[in-house]
Amino acid sequence: MGEQGSSSSSCFAGFVVVLSLVLNASVLCNGGKTSNFVRKVEKTIDMPLDSDVFRVPPGYNAPQQVHITQGDRVGKGVIVSWVTQDEAGSNTVIYWSENTKQKKQAEGKVYTYKFYNYTSGYIHHCTIRNLEFNTKYYYVVGIGHTERTFWFTTPPEVGPDVPYTFGLIGDLGQSFDSNSTLTHYEMNPRKGQTLLFVGDLSYADNYPNHDNVRWDTWGRFVERSVAYQPWIWTVGNHEIDFAPEIGETKPFKPYTQRYHVPYRASESTAPFWYSIKRASAYIIVLSSYSAYGKYTPQYEWLKEEFPKVNRSETPWLIVLMHSPWYNSYNYHYMEGETMRVMYEPWFVKYKVDVVFAGHVHAYERSERVSNIAYNVINGLCSPVKDQSAPVYITIGDGGNLEGLATNMTEPQPPYSAYREASFGHAIFDIKNRTHAYYSWHRNQDGYAVDADSMWFFNRYWHPMDDSTTADA
Ligand SMILES: *[C@@H]1O[C@H](CO)[C@@H](O)[C@H](O)[C@H]1NC(C)=O
Ligand SMILES: *[C@@H]1O[C@H](CO)[C@@H](O)[C@H](O)[C@H]1NC(C)=O
Ligand SMILES: *[C@@H]1O[C@H](CO)[C@@H](O)[C@H](O)[C@H]1NC(C)=O
Ligand SMILES: *[C@@H]1O[C@H](CO)[C@@H](O)[C@H](O)[C@H]1NC(C)=O
Ligand SMILES: *[C@@H]1O[C@H](CO)[C@@H](O)[C@H](O)[C@H]1NC(C)=O
Ligand SMILES: [Fe+2]
């Protein structure tokens, strides 16, 4: 749980940060950087129900909470989802490409669910398939009642030198800060083409009885982005919605009803872990909250998954999960540790380029390190620099109502390259098979400002040291 920001605790945190910088500089020469950025007191409360961003679109049975995600293995499919409130209405999506203007249609399905005393609207999911690559499409939902038109652009065909730009947001929620994060993402001149979302969407579970009305408001809030570009979903702890005290014992119920993902296309047996190819990236999504021990479905799937990655086809290997493995904040400390012990040897063996996680409401970027030598008796249990290892990035700073994680472990561990407790988002901008430019953007800055950045060198095609700290 985060703490609510208050002026006294922020000042104190700022003092600790400055002090640690001095310590780092004078005592420890090999640590990374703890930012001394001084922020204003954050307004970490949820936007009220009558906020502009939650407005229901006008018209009888108008589709709301429209969102899209990749709908197949390679990006020629799109899952279109929306909610109608008055009646089920049509499950049809009408779509056409900017080039041909020839109208086609696809049929979806409609779902409803109950959660305690909440009954959902009519949740529609419709997969459009066999689209052309690299093409702008328009689509219409709400056929027969109130029609609404949106558009998206399909990715280029999967291939090794296809430039592509991914945005990164985690732990977004629906506070005033969440709105600022989303605005900064939309206004960033680097223009993310697809968003990788690392879990914790609505934070509805922070309300009495997990008031699922806050799932609906969140859906309306983010529509302005996710109706026009795919968001790739990862589950976080706030998607579990396990509440036996009110008779809700099926984990992930609201999330799985509302957010569909193309897990079957990657031979996964559950929507919580899956993979996609998109442009020059292979993206593996893992679940920190599903069993991952040996012999479990997720373990068996991941074991088969890594050998399938062909770096001549998709040079960039990206993993998304919610709970970070390398985290030097005093929040959720070591929660990712058991999964790290299970899977880290594979991440090193298969040379994952970067791992994005959320959960901790702050920002942190690691060095390339691994910690896989320990065998219970040899005592080799410290992270070591490892050029085959991924960079670990915590981007749980979307700005939800729980506030910032400001309390850091001191001194900053050597594996931590940069850390700062500010809200923001990041962009992973793939240039070609060897280079990607990564930048983190804090909400207090202008839209074009990089608060932290790094040139990634691909681990397969250009495995040179890309560390940013002086002694590396
Ligand atoms: C659900 O129950 C809570 C109290 O238990 C009440 O405040 C709320 O109005 C109810 N909501 C609906 C939709 O009935
Ligand atoms: C959210 O941000 C948008 C875009 O900046 C703005 O138009 C809107 O008024 C904001 N809403 C709230 C409740 O802050
Ligand atoms: C890997 O991808 C390349 C480029 O698409 C292709 O030529 C090669 O046959 C693939 N290798 C395997 C083992 O599938
Ligand atoms: C920071 O976290 C540590 C470890 O949990 C705790 O002992 C300490 O009191 C915390 N400091 C502040 C300022 O909250
Ligand atoms: C790949 O992109 C980087 C950065 O833009 C550039 O310096 C490099 O020359 C490119 N490589 C090729 C083969 O084009
Ligand atoms: Fe979380």
pLDDT digits (tens, 9 = 90+) for 307-323: 999 999 999 999 999 99
Candidates 184, 210, 332, 361; catalytic one: 332
How far does the centroid of ligand 5 lie from the alpha carbon of residue 429, in Å? 12
Q: By C-alpha distance, which of 418, 417, 412 is closest to 20?
A: 412
pLDDT for 370 beyond 70 = yes
410 burial (CB, 10 Å; 0-12 / 13-18 / 19+) is middle
How far does the centroid of ligand 5 lie from the alpha carbon of residue 10, in Å? 42
How far does the centroid of ligand 1 lie from the alpha carbon of residue 202, in Å? 19
Residue nearest to atom 5 of ligand 3 (CA): 313
149 close to ligand 3 (CB < 6 Angstrom): no
How far does the centroid of ligand 5 lie from the alpha carbon of residue 43, in Å? 42
- The pLDDT of 137-156, averaged and rounded, is 98
At 218 the pLDDT is 98
Q: How many residues does the chain have?
A: 472
Residue nearest to atom 1 of ligand 2 (CA): 179
435 close to ligand 5 (CB < 6 Angstrom): yes
Helix (H, G, I), strand (E, B) or coil at 150: strand
At 469 the pLDDT is 76
Q: Which residues of 12-35 are buried (b: 16+ CB within 10 A; e: fewer)?
A: ebbeebeebbeebeeeeeebbbbb
Among 49, 117, 216, the mutation site with the greatest number of ligand 1 atoms within 8 A of its Cβ is 117
- The pLDDT of 415-432, averaged and rounded, is 97
Contact residues for 267 (Cβ-Cβ < 8 A; gap 6+): 301, 304
At 277 the pLDDT is 98
Residue nearest to atom 10 of ligand 1 (CA): 117
pLDDT for 233 beyond 70 = yes
CA-CA distances (angstroms) from residue 420 to 31, 39, 72? Answer: 14, 11, 36
117 close to ligand 1 (CB < 6 Angstrom): yes
At 43 the pLDDT is 67
How far does the centroid of ligand 3 lie from the alpha carbon of residue 315, in Å? 11
Question: How confident is the prediction for the chain on average, in pLDDT?
Answer: 93
pLDDT for 20 beyond 80 = no
At 4 the pLDDT is 36
Residues 15, 17, 20, 25, CA torsion sign: negative
Amino acid at 335: E
Plot region of 116 (φ>0 → left; ψ -120 to 50 → alpha; else → beta): left
d(CA 254, CA 105): 28
At 381 the pLDDT is 96
The larger pLDDT score, comparing residue 10 to residue 430, is at 430
- Degrees (nearest 5) of the Cα angle 215, 262, 101? 90
Residue found by looking up tokens 């890309």 in the block: 466
Among 312, 314, 460, the mutation site with the greatest number of ligand 3 atoms within 8 A of its Cβ is 312
Q: In the chain, pLDDT over 90 holds for what percent of residues?
A: 90
pLDDT for 5 beyond 50 = no
Per DSSP, what are the bridge partners of residue 454? 438
Ligand 2: nearest atom to the Cα of 176: 14
d(CA 285, CA 136): 26
402 and 365 Cβ atoms separated by less than 8 Å: no
Q: By C-alpha distance, which of 50, 119, 122, 140 is closest to 85?
A: 122
pLDDT for 348 beyond 70 = yes
d(CA 439, CA 462): 20
The strand pair at 354-357 and 391-395 is best described as parallel
Q: Write down the pTM of the prediction.
A: 0.94
313 and 160 Cβ atoms separated by less than 8 Å: yes
At 44 the pLDDT is 83
pLDDT for 1 beyond 50 = no
At 29 the pLDDT is 39
d(CA 352, CA 331): 25
pLDDT for 19 beyond 50 = no
The torsion of the CA quartet 283, 287, 288, 293, rounded to 10 degrees, works out to -100
407 close to ligand 4 (CB < 6 Angstrom): yes
Ligand 5: nearest atom to the Cα of 433: 1
d(CA 453, CA 441): 9
7 close to ligand 1 (CB < 6 Angstrom): no
431 close to ligand 5 (CB < 6 Angstrom): yes
182 close to ligand 2 (CB < 6 Angstrom): no
pLDDT for 230 beyond 70 = yes
At 30 the pLDDT is 52
Ligand nearest to the CA of 409: 4
Confidence of residue 37 (pLDDT cuts 50, 70, 90): confident
Amino acid at 101: K
Catalytic, 145? Answer: no
434 close to ligand 5 (CB < 6 Angstrom): yes
How far does the centroid of ligand 1 lie from the alpha carbon of residue 211, in Å? 9
Q: By C-alpha distance, which of 400, 428, 362, 447 is closest to 185?
A: 447
The larger pLDDT score, comparing residue 23 to residue 294, is at 294
Q: By C-alpha distance, which of 43, 401, 359, 423 is closest to 206?
A: 401
pLDDT in tens, 85-110: 999 999 999 999 999 999 999 999 99
